[in-house]
Amino acid sequence: MAYIELRNVSKSFGVGKDRTQVLSNINLEIEEGEFVAIVGFTGSGKTTLINLISGLLMPDEGEVLFKGEPVTGPSHERGVIFQNYSLLPWLNVRNNVGMAVKEAFKKMTRSGRKKRVEEYVEMVNLSPAINKLPKELSGGMRQRVSVTRALSMSPDVILMDEPLSALDALTRGNLQQEILKIWNKDKKTALLITNDVDEGILMADRIIPLKPGPKATLGPEYKINLERPRDKTALNHNEEYKKLRNSIIEYLIQIGEQRASKKENIYTLPDIKPVIKPTPFGRLNFG
Partner 1 sequence: MKDRSIHILNFVGLSFFEPAIRLASGEEVKKNLIALFKKVFLPILSVGLFLILWHSGATYLYNIEKDARIEKALNDRGEAAALEMKTCIESGDISCQPNTLPSPSQVWEAYKSLLADHRVITQKKVAFAEKVAVTNAQREAQGLVPIKYTGRPSFVDQILTSLKTVFAGFLLAFLIAVPIGVMLGLSTTLRSSVNWLIQIFKPVSPVVWLLLVFMIVKTLTRNSDSDSSFIISFISVGLCSMWATLVNTSMGVSSVDKDYINVAKVLQLNVGQKVFKIILPSSFPLIFTGLRITLSVAWMVLIAIELLAQSPGLGSFVWEEFQNGANDSNSKIIVAMFVIGIIGFLLDRIMLTIQKFVTFTEETA
Contact with partner 1 (CB under 8 A) among 45, 79, 163, 219: 79
Amino acid at 190: A
Contact with partner 1 (CB under 8 A) among 56, 58, 65, 235: 56
Task: Confirm if 22 and 45 have CB atoms less than 8 A apart.
Answer: yes
Which residues ranging from 128 to 167 are in contact with partner 1 (CB under 8 A)? 133-135, 138-139, 142, 153
Q: Report the C-alpha gap between 96 and 115 in whole angstroms.
A: 14
In angstroms, give the least distance from the CB of 221 to partner 1: 27
Residue closer to partner 1 (CB basis): 133 or 235: 133
Kindly state whether residue 89 participates in binding partner 1, applying the rule CB under 8 A. Answer: yes
Task: Confirm if 76 and 150 have CB atoms less than 8 A apart.
Answer: no
Tell me which residue of 138, 117, 123 sits closest to 186, measured CA to CA.
123
Residues in a beta bridge with 207: 37, 222
Residue closer to partner 1 (CB basis): 50 or 202: 50
Residue closer to partner 1 (CB basis): 86 or 174: 86
- Output the CA–CA distances (angstroms, integers) from residue 284 to 167, 181, 273, 278, in the order listed: 66, 83, 21, 10
Contact with partner 1 (CB under 8 A) among 80, 93, 160, 204: 80
Neighbours of 234 (CB within 10 A): 10
Kindly state whether residue 75 participates in binding partner 1, applying the rule CB under 8 A. Answer: yes
Contact with partner 1 (CB under 8 A) among 54, 148, 176, 194: 54
Contact with partner 1 (CB under 8 A) among 10, 12, 84, 174: 84
Q: Report the C-alpha gap between 177 and 197 in whole angstroms.
A: 16
Neighbours of 241 (CB within 10 A): 18
In angstroms, give the least distance from the CB of 71 to partner 1: 13
In angstroms, give the least distance from the CB of 43 to partner 1: 18
In angstroms, give the least distance from the CB of 217 to partner 1: 25
Quick check: helix, strand or coil at residue 21?
strand
Residue closer to partner 1 (CB basis): 191 or 255: 191
Q: Is the peptide bond before 209 cis (omega within 30 degrees of 0)?
A: no
In angstroms, give the least distance from the CB of 133 to partner 1: 7
Q: Report the C-alpha gap between 42 and 64 in whole angstroms.
A: 23
Kindly state whether residue 58 participates in binding partner 1, applying the rule CB under 8 A. Answer: no
Q: Report the C-alpha gap between 207 and 251 in whole angstroms.
A: 12
In angstroms, give the least distance from the CB of 103 to partner 1: 5
Quick check: helix, strand or coil at residue 85?
coil
Residue closer to partner 1 (CB basis): 100 or 207: 100
Binding residues for partner 1, rule: CB under 8 A, are 54-56, 73-76, 79-80, 82, 84, 86, 88-91, 99-100, 103-104, 133-135, 138-139, 142, 153
